Amino acid sequence: MRKVKIGLALGSGAAKGWAHIGVINALERAGIEIDVVAGCSVGALVGSAYVNNRLPLMEKWVSAFRYWDVIRLMDVSWQRGGLLRGERVFSHVRQLIPNDTIEHCHKPFGVVATNLSTGRELWLTEGDLHQAVRASCSMPGLLPPVGYNGYWLVDGAVVNPVPISLTRALGADIVIAVDLQHDAHLMQQDLFSVTPQNSEEEAAAAALSWGGKLRQRLVNFSQRRASQSPGAMEIMSTSIQVLENRLKRNRMAGDPPDVLIQPVCPQISTLDFHRAEEAIEAGKAAVEKKMDELLPLGERMEKPLLGKKILIVEDEAVFRSLLDQFLLSMGAVTLQAEDGLEAIAQLQQHTVDLIICDLEMPRMSGIQFVEHIRTRGSIVPILIISATENMSDIAHVLRLGVQDVLLKPLKNFERFREAVYECLYPSMFTSKVEEDEQLFQDWDALVRDPKAAAKLLKQLQPPVQQTIANCRVNYRQLTMAEQPGLVLDIAALSDKDLAFYCLDVTRAGDNGVLAALLLRALFNGLLQEQLTGQKQRLPELNGLLRQVNLLLRQANLSGQFPLLVGYYHRGLKNLILVSAGLNATLHVHAHQIQLSNGVPLGTMGSTHLNQISQRAENWQCHVWGAGGRIRLMLSTEE
């Protein structure tokens, strides 16, 4: 089993960024081995030197900076895009770090940049190292955007000032983040903090060239008195810092690092790159303050599941023992059960952090067990390990809120280990950005391959007979062809109520199947939102269908989408049916109630629905449309 990987997330901060050098040096002296590195802006610059074993050379270079050295590196530009060209600085960096590609770095490395075309962050983990670093450092207004693989990129701090999410994506199990902007002044009157005392030689040299005059004008611009109103560069610099701070706080709230290091160097201004020694010392001091948090990382690396209690629900004794030994070796406390009934008994006596469960077991199956605890409000993470190839079963448990499904035989215990980590430490492995990117990729793949989408939809059809929410439910379906017609979905919301819908996918071309997949993924969440705060748990289904109609429009799915939605509460014995484009007949005892079809979703901006509400203990509902017929039957279990 490999050791836990420690990642370092180096944040933005302009001249304060030299503090990263002090942080890295102090971590190495403390014996903390860094396995992966991610950087943003100046963090990308320092990180690139570190992962290429050039940090000592960079430290020597920047520690020798004096005020006029920084000014000489400023190649003023009259072109659009930035005040400075940046050629002088990055030509020095290229000499300092001869490696040209990210793949050839000595440690996994990535940088964050902002895509001007989409406004979203772009993770650069391969390709031209120097272009990637330069893009991540291109502070809007100061340095021009960088062309990279067909995109225009600017400073990554615009979207992700401290790249914790990228560090995790590169394989880090534990993240040490370095935040340089926590003590930033809300208004810096100077881009440079102090006026230099020029030597006669420096003044004379500066006066000899037209470029020197330009640089002098830049210095004069930055040295206006505090009583004067701030200039454009001050406003821009401060505004960016305010935005970065707010964005950083929001992102860290959802994805906090394991250790947060915050060097204190408030007097170092945006372009004070000549104050490297102060910043480096501030980085070292910040690490010393966090040593109590940093030293226990060694123990966590050896026993990453220390203090976690895990319930293994598995009827096969050999496999159960194998899982048990693997988890014990990582420091976990384990409990065991042979089936769902034993697992319920264990949960009555113990509070666990994770449940690992099979699906096919005697007495009470894994599906029944998951339904039992989920409908009673349990939010304990669940990891399924099963030999099933039934996509409907997998979709069922995923809908019930299990975190992941692994298939037997479990040949790769590395994948199992990662799945356990993802369940126990979700913020370490997921971020909103990553989830959104994956959703976009999955959706685009389905849009490009309608046959694959139709095949997936067919595999996700519910079983024709099942017990759900203590009700016996079965259905019969007649379609006009082999292609999808009327699509049915049923889901338990608790042990007392369930919901279902029928969607005709034949009236919108390929968009019908895509709409069905989208609805299947989001239906439960939409309905739960409708139920929130309703004491009698009777949802307002008209509002639900309006949400679905808006969702289809936002997904750019055109066409007509005839839909019927039903909700049944076993305790209240109340059935609600709402139709937007499908005909239905409800049979209750000897009575028949007709529900006219209304207007399909997608036809207009608003919805035009028909609804009935009926008390019933046992009932049948016939639904029909252009895509075929479905007969759905329900009886309660007393």
The full DSSP string for 533-561 is T-TT----HHHHHHHHHHHHHHTT--S-B
Tell me: pLDDT of 86 over 80.
Answer: no
Task: Determine phi and psi for 349, rounding to 5 degrees.
Answer: -110, -20
Q: Are 241 and 269 within 8 A, CB to CB? A: no
Residue range 137-155: mean pLDDT, rounded: 83
Pairing of strands 404-407, 382-386: parallel
- The pLDDT of 425-445, averaged and rounded, is 57
Mean pLDDT, residues 364-368: 91
Local confidence band at 116 (pLDDT 50, 70, 90 cut-offs): confident
Please list the active-site residues: 41, 155
Q: If you ran DSSP here, which 8-state letter would residue 267 be given?
A: T
Residue 236: the pLDDT is 53
Average pLDDT over residues 210-217: 46
Rounded-to-integer distance, Cα 141 and Cα 270, Å: 13
- The reported pLDDT for the residue numbered 206 is 43
Fold of 450-636: Phosphatase 2c; domain 1 (3.60.40)
- Highest mean predicted confidence (pLDDT) among 31-35, 344-348, 371-375, 512-516: 344-348
Task: Give the Cα separation of 504 and 513 in Å (integer).
Answer: 9
Given a cut of 80, whether residue 203 has pLDDT beyond it is: no
pLDDT at 638: 57
Mean per-residue pLDDT for 96-123? 91
Look up residue 616 and give its two tokens.
């019933």
pLDDT tens digits, 27-48: 998 888 899 999 999 999 999 9
Predicted pLDDT of residue 481: 54
- Residue 289 is predicted with a pLDDT of 92
Peptide bond into 409 cis (omega under 30): yes
> Which tens digit of pLDDT belongs to each residue from 473-492?
999 987 655 667 899 988 88
Q: Which amino acid is at 93?
A: V
pLDDT at 534 over 60: no
- The larger pLDDT score, comparing residue 188 to residue 116, is at 116
pLDDT band at 128 (very low <50, low <70, confident <90, very high): very high
From-to residues of CATH 3.40.50.2300 in the chain: 302-429
Question: Has residue 190 got a pLDDT over 60?
Answer: no
Q: pTM of the full predicted structure?
A: 0.50
Closest residue by Cα to residue 472 from 638, 306, 600: 638
Residue 446 predicted with pLDDT over 80: no
Say whether pLDDT at 200 is over 60: no
Mean pLDDT of the 203-224 span:
45
At 238 the pLDDT is 54
What integer best gives the mean pLDDT of the chain? 81
- Hunting for tokens 């697992």 — which residue is that? 343
- Cα separation, 542 vs 536, in Å, equals 17
Percent of the chain residues topping a pLDDT of 70: 78
519/444 Cα distance (integer angstroms): 16
Q: What is the pLDDT of residues 55-68, one digit of tens each?
A: 999 999 999 988 87
139: left (phi over 0), alpha (psi -120 to 50) or beta: beta
At residue 309, φ and ψ (nearest 5 deg) are -110, 125
Q: How far apart are CA 205 and CA 458, in angstroms?
A: 78
When pLDDT is cut at 50, 70 and 90, the band that residue 148 belongs to is confident
Helix, coil or strand: residue 389 = coil
Say if residues 37 and 50 touch (Cβ distance below 8 Å). Answer: yes
Token code pair at residue 279: 């910043």
Topology adopted by domain 302-429: Rossmann fold (3.40.50)
Angle, alpha carbons 144-145-149 (nearest 5°): 145
Taking the C-alpha atoms of residue 332 and residue 348, their distance in angstroms, rounded to an integer, is 20
Instruction: Place 219 in a pLDDT band, splitting at 50, 70 and 90.
Output: very low
Q: Give the pairing type, strands 563-569 and 574-580.
A: antiparallel
Between CA 586 and CA 564 the distance in angstroms is 12
8 Å CB contact between 585 and 622:
yes
Encoding tokens for residue 555? 């997904």
Query: What's the rounded Cα separation, in Å, for the pair 560 and 601?
Result: 6
Check whether 460 has a pLDDT greater than 70.
Answer: yes
Q: What is the rounded average pLDDT of the residues 66-95?
A: 73
The residue with tokens 């010392």 is: 281
* pLDDT surpassing 90 at residue 195: no
- Give the per-residue pLDDT at 80: 58
Backbone angles phi and psi of 602, in degrees to 5: 85, -10
For 254-258, 277-281, 573-577, which range has the lowest pLDDT when averaged over its residues? Answer: 254-258
The model's confidence at residue 496, banded by pLDDT at 50, 70 and 90, is: confident
CATH of domain 6-293: 3.40.1090
What is residue 377's predicted lDDT score, i.e. its pLDDT?
Answer: 81
Query: Range with the lowest mean pLDDT among 207-211, 422-426, 580-584, 620-624?
Result: 207-211
Give the bridge partners for 587, in sequence order: 592, 620
Q: Kindly tell me if the per-residue pLDDT of 431 is higher than 50.
A: no
Q: How many residues does the chain have?
A: 638
Q: b/e per residue, 13-50, with b = 16+ CB within 10 A?
A: bbbbbbbbbbbbbbbeeeebebbbbbbbbbbbbbbbbb
Please give the average per-residue pLDDT across 412-429, as a whole number. 78
pLDDT for residue 178 = 95
pLDDT tens-digit map of 268-301: 877 788 898 999 999 999 999 998 888 777 666 6
Order across the sheet with 354-357: list the strands.
Answer: 333-337, 309-313, 354-357, 382-386, 404-407
Question: How many whole angstroms separate alpha carbon 516 and alpha carbon 507?
Answer: 12
Q: Output the furthest CA–CA distance in the chain (Å, rounded).
A: 107
List alpha helices for 466-585, DSSP H: 510-531, 541-554
